[in-house]
Structure 1
Amino acid sequence: MESLSAPVTEWSSTGDDLIDLIGELLIRPCVTGDEGLIADWIAQWAASRGDMVMRVGHSLVMSPPGDLDDPRPVVALVGHTDVVPPTEHDRLARLEERDGQPVIVGRGVSDMKAGLGVLMQAFIDEDCRNGPYRMVLVAYAGEEGPAEANELAQVLNAVPGLADTALAIIGEPTDGQVQLGCMGALHALVTFPGVQAHSARPWQGHNALTHAGEWLAKWKDVDLVEVTIDGLTWKEVMTPTQAYTDNARNIVPGSFVVNVNYRFAPDKTIEEAEAQFIERINAFWTGDEPLSVAIVDRALPCPPRRNNAMVSALIDAFGVDVAPKQAWTDVARFNAIGVPALNFSPAPGDQAHQAGEWMPVADIRPGFDQLKAFLTHT
Structure 2
Amino acid sequence: MHTRLSGERDRPPRTKGRADALDRLDGMPTLDLSLSAADITRAICDIPSVSDDERMLADAIEAAIRPLPHLEVHRDGDTIVARTALGRAQRVVIAGHIDTVPLNGNLPTRDIEIDGEPFIWGRGTVDMKAGTAVQLKLAAELSDPVVDITWIWYDHEEVEASRSGLTRLAATRPDLFEGDFAILGEPSNGQVEGGCNGTLRAVVRTHGRRSHSARAWMGVNAIHAAAPVLARLAAYEPQEIVVDGLAYREGLNAVRVSGGVAGNVIPDLCEVEVNFRFAPSRSGAEAADHVREVFDGFEVEVTDLAQGARPGLDSPIAQDFVRAVGAVPQPKYGWTDVARFSALGVPAVNYGPGDPSLAHHDEERVAVAQIESCERSLRAWLTAG
| Alignment deviations for residues 170-209 of structure 1 (CA, whole Å, 9 cap, x no partner) | 0111111100111111111111121111111111111111
Aligned match for 2:215, one of 201, 225, 243: 201
| Residue 143 (structure 1) aligned with residue 163 (structure 2) | no
| Structure 2 match to 1:293 | 300
Report how far residue 79 of structure 1 moved. Answer: 0.4
Report the AA paired with residue 116 of structure 1: T
Report how far residue 21 of structure 1 moved. Answer: 1.4
Report how far residue 297 of structure 1 moved. Answer: 0.7
Report how far residue 107 of structure 1 moved. Answer: 1.2
| Residue 219 (structure 1) aligned with residue 233 (structure 2) | yes
CA change 1:11–1:354 in 2 (3 A) is farther
Larger relative contact order (Cα-Cα within 8 Å, sequence gap ≥ 6): 1
| Residue 177 (structure 1) aligned with residue 191 (structure 2) | yes
| Residue 321 (structure 1) aligned with residue 328 (structure 2) | yes
C-alpha contact 1:11 1:27 (8 A) present in aligned 2: no
Q: CA RMSD in A?
A: 2.0
Aligned match for 1:124, one of 103, 128, 140: 140
Q: How does 1:264-283 map to 2 (within 5 A)?
A: 264-282=278-296
| Structure 1 match to 2:127 | 111
| Structure 1 match to 2:75 | 55
| Alignment deviations for residues 196-254 of structure 1 (CA, whole Å, 9 cap, x no partner) | 11111111111111122133123212212011011100011211211111411211111
Mind listing any 5+ residue stretches in structure 1 that lack a counterpart? Answer: 1-7, 283-289
Cα separation, 2, equivalents of 1:77 and 1:123: 10
Cα separation, 2, equivalents of 1:20 and 1:305: 32
TM-score with structure 1 setting the length: 0.90
| Structure 1 match to 2:102 | 85
Mind listing any 5+ residue stretches in structure 2 that lack a counterpart? Answer: 1-7, 20-34
Runs of 4+ in 1 over 2 A off after TM superposition: 8-16, 48-52, 96-101, 156-164
SS for the counterpart of 1:346 is: coil
C-alpha contact 2:202 2:301 (8 A) present in aligned 1: yes
| Structure 1 match to 2:39 | 20
Report the AA paired with residue 322 of structure 1: P
Report the AA paired with residue 342 of structure 1: V
TM-score with structure 2 setting the length: 0.88
| Residue 232 (structure 1) aligned with residue 246 (structure 2) | yes
C-alpha contact 2:244 2:310 (8 A) present in aligned 1: no
C-alpha contact 2:210 2:267 (8 A) present in aligned 1: yes
Report how far residue 92 of structure 1 moved. Answer: 1.4
Cα separation, 2, equivalents of 1:277 and 1:96: 43
| Structure 2 match to 1:4 | none
Cα separation, 2, equivalents of 1:163 and 1:347: 25
Moved more, 71-80 or 174-183: 71-80
- Paired residue total: 358
C-alpha contact 1:87 1:356 (8 A) present in aligned 2: no
Cα separation, 2, equivalents of 1:138 and 1:21: 17
CA change 1:200–1:40 in 2 (3 A) is same
Report how far residue 11 of structure 1 moved. Answer: 11
CA change 1:262–1:17 in 2 (3 A) is same
C-alpha contact 1:197 1:204 (8 A) present in aligned 2: yes
Cα separation, 1, equivalents of 2:101 and 2:12: 21
